[in-house]
Amino acid sequence: MDIYSESESDRKYAKVNLQDKTRKEYAQRIEDYMNSQQAFLQEDLTVGQLANFLDIPQHHISMAINTEFGKNFYQYVNQHRVAFAMQLLREPGTSEENIMNVAFRSGFKSKSTFNKAFKSINNMTPTQFRKQLAIN
């Protein structure tokens, strides 16, 4: 691969006039909002809703997430959800809690999506993660 070749994000957003500095600022605003407001807990969160909350054009939200985080919107949101689920699974009071309840509390609305996202990030299922916590 040529070191001067364009990345997929560069090609995808070639016609969008958004300066790097602005895109990075948007990415920081998105990350700050996701962490402070825990918007990822809304199981039906959309790019449009996030754009409205932050008063940023929807296509700029997508561009900032794709370019700055290297993920699409749903991968980005699920990353936050999985991190939250991992935090819940680590809490002593949740050791007996049903895994699906943890998934729902983390913003997921289906078992398959939760398991797939969790495994793609951690290389293990939520149940395996919980068992590993019990061993350590």
Considering the domain boundaries, does residue 8 fall inside one?
no
pLDDT at 5 over 80: no
Considering the domain boundaries, does residue 117 fall inside one?
yes
Q: What is the structure's pLDDT at 39?
A: 96
Handedness of CA 66, 32, 83, 107 (dihedral sign): negative
pLDDT at 6 over 60: no
Which residues, at least 6 apart from 10, have a Cβ–Cβ distance to it below 8 Å?
none
pLDDT digits (tens, 9 = 90+) for 9-18: 555 555 556 8
Q: Give the Cα separation of 46 and 53 in Å (integer).
A: 11
Q: What is the structure's pLDDT at 31?
A: 97
Number of domains in the chain: 1
Range of the domain at 72: 19-136
Q: Which amino acid is at 71?
A: K
pLDDT at 1 over 90: no
- Mean pLDDT within 43-62: 95
- Measured from the Cβ of residue 19, the count of other Cβ atoms closer than 10 Å reads 8
- Mean pLDDT within 21-41: 96
Considering the domain boundaries, does residue 62 fall inside one?
yes
pLDDT digits (tens, 9 = 90+) for 40-51: 999 999 999 999
Q: What is the structure's pLDDT at 94?
A: 78
Considering the domain boundaries, does residue 13 fall inside one?
no
Q: What is the structure's pLDDT at 3?
A: 40
pTM over 0.95: no
Considering the domain boundaries, does residue 96 fall inside one?
yes
CATH number at 116 reads 1.10.10.60
pLDDT at 32 over 50: yes
Residue 101 structure tokens: 């309840």
Considering the domain boundaries, does residue 7 fall inside one?
no
Q: Which amino acid is at 87?
A: Q
Considering the domain boundaries, does residue 121 fall inside one?
yes
pLDDT digits (tens, 9 = 90+) for 91-117: 888 778 899 999 999 999 999 999 999
